[in-house]
Structure 1
């Protein structure tokens, strides 16, 4: 299963919306989009996911739905991402079926190994630094933490692609790649830019 190196996580900044932010990144060339809507019901998230799925299809991109297995299934999403407080991967798998990509958040080596054992397809490891987009933030990992965790994961035989997440900026990317992560997930770094295409091209060159 192909896991992209650049994941965009949607935001709805003041005066905008999740769909507008997603479309902006798609127009700039983004190919892996995670719809991350918090504190809403499945009934409220489903129409957003359906619209996001249509946008992604139009631009040849993949949609990942955060938190809601049934919504991911109904919207025809490419994947599902589960946080540490969400449904277990194995339980979600019974809802979405064998073919959907499932990613799982991790903050420690124990989380990473558990995700692998539970059948996740990739791991979102973070947060790298403080980020205001996430409530109930797990302990900050930092660059040294990534170096240690990735080394320990390799020594434990954990082979899943790891995506670094949490307050990552462009200058962080080369340093993070040196730790052995597969790629990065970005939110504000793309959402809050005017020249999204230039920023995205720069990031993709760093990830090559």
Structure 2
């Protein structure tokens, strides 16, 4: 089963990105999604290659946001596709079954489509307003997650769901109670000057009710 915490990388330059990714790994995060928007393909490739190398060193999962062919080029562990990106089933036919494919969802219909098309996990959001994303889907809030996860249970849809979008430490307990598998964070981790302590606190909350 997938780890419950995913870090979505931030930074406007390769150096900033690598700094943030390295620090997240160093602090104990073991799943990185590289998100590097509006860059040249040369820069994106250079970052992906360096990030993949770092993640291998830390035995962490490494997936690429949006760019399936880049994920293929650097032999990443997988790709995360937004609602306007390549279709999940198309990505699956290219990547094969050994790679992770995540899909963004904003409602139950998105989830049903993703599951049908061979998605491995869902990034469901946004939880609240976030400046990380330019084109934001409707905000879900706690009630949105609760309703969607209940509907999934009723329809016997089983797939790991990650909450995403402006999540803070104090939100995690309530979010986990809705039935999500884990969370994907960006700013919360990037902006922390005590990343190791923060990841420890996040994981304590994420794994609080897990029976070993």
Q: TM-score, normalised by structure 1?
A: 0.96
Q: Distance in 2 between matches of 1:173 and 1:37?
A: 26
RMSD across aligned positions (CA):
1.5
- Determine if contact 2:14/2:43 at 8 Å carries over to the other structure: no
Taking structure 1 as reference, are residues 63 and 97 closer, same or farther at Cα in structure 2, changes over 3 Å only? same
CA gap 1:14/1:38 in 2 versus in 1, 3 angstroms? closer
- Does the Cα contact within 8 Å between 2:81 and 2:104 map onto a contact in 1? yes
1:70 and 2:69 correspond: yes
Q: Structure 1 residue 46: deviation in Å?
A: 1.5
Residue in 2 aligned with 1:200? 199
Contact kept, 8 Å, 2:106 with 2:124, in 1: the verdict is: yes
Structure 1 gaps, min length 5: none
Structure 2 residue runs of 5 or longer lacking an equivalent are 208-212
3-state secondary structure, aligned to 2:103: strand
* Aligned equivalents of 2:179, 2:122: Cα separation in 1: 13
Query: 1:123, 1:162 within 8 Å by CA — same for their partners in 2?
Result: yes
Partner of 1:49: 48
By how many angstroms is 1:39 displaced?
A: 2.0
Which digits, 9 at most, give the CA deviation of each residue in 1:115-145, with x for residues without a partner?
1011000000000000000011000000011
Match of 1:181?
A: 180
Structure 2 counterpart of 1:20: 19
1:148 & 1:55 partners in 2: Cα distance?
38
- In structure 1, how many angstroms separate the alpha carbons of the residues matched to 2:13 and 2:37? 16
Give the structure 1 partner of residue 210 of structure 2.
none
**Equivalences, count:** 207
Report matched runs for 1:25-174 at 5 Å. 25-174=24-173
Secondary structure of the equivalent of 2:152? helix
Q: Distance in 1 between matches of 2:102 and 2:108?
A: 16
CA contact (8 A) 2:105 2:122 kept: yes
**Counterpart of 1:163 in 2: which secondary structure?**
strand
Shift, 1:14, TM fit: 8.7
| CA distance in structure 1 between the aligned counterparts of 2:30 and 2:166, rounded to whole angstroms | 20
Task: Give me the whole-angstrom Cα distance separating, in 2, the residues matched to 1:45 and 1:13.
Answer: 11
For 1:79 and 1:155, locate their aligned partners in 2 and report how far apart those are by CA, in whole Å: 29
Q: TM-score, normalised by structure 2?
A: 0.94
3-state SS in 2 of match to 1:17: helix
